[in-house]
A = this chain, B = another copy of it.
Amino acid sequence: MEEKFMREALRLARKAKAMGEVPIGAVVVVGGKVVGRGYNLRTKLQMATAHAEMRAIDRACKALHSWRLEGAEIYVTLEPCPMCMGAILNARIDRVYFGAYEQKGRSLTSALAGANLLNHTAEVTGGVMERECSEILTAFFSEMREREKKKREGNSETV
């Protein structure tokens, strides 16, 4: 585990934030090199599958001309949802490092990683640079609520 890769994922999360997206970033690493980067673009692309991990995995597959990313690691700022954990297993990625914990999907995501579907399991480590990874999400949602509150107040003034 190298913090520099989580820092790179955090940089990508900030790019998402700058575009008004929920700030989540991910990088795929093979042999100590980043081979795929991604950040959440669900709203901008209006695409349910445009999560940070999916975009990083697609880019890694393209870069390596292979759907099998054996020996790969993925660093992601938030615990992967079931879709993304499924994609991680489909791509035969060996290790997952994530930052903030996602309470809702937690047990299922772990169950998936260890279920030995496809004769492949992934080792998952959570809480990497957890404070930074959580803070960027908390700040995003609190700013969003603040904006919505102001909007509502503005609306009620014009009534």
Interface of A with B (CB < 8 Å)? 42-43, 45-51, 54, 57-58, 61-62, 65-69, 81-87, 89-92, 104-105, 108, 111-112, 115, 117-118
Instruction: List, in ascending order, chain B residues with CB within 8 A of A45's CB.
Output: 61, 67
B43:A67 contact, CB within 8 angstroms: yes
Q: Give, as a whole number of angstroms, the nearest-CB distance from A90 to chain B.
A: 5
In the bound complex, residues from chain B placing their C-beta under 8 Å from that of A54 are 49
Candidates B43, B48, B57, B82; contact of A117 at CB < 8 Å: B82
- Residue in contact with A48 in the complex, picked from B50, B81, B90, CB distance below 8 Å: B90
**A80 nearest CB neighbor, chain B only:** B86
A43–B68 Cα gap in the complex (Å)? 10
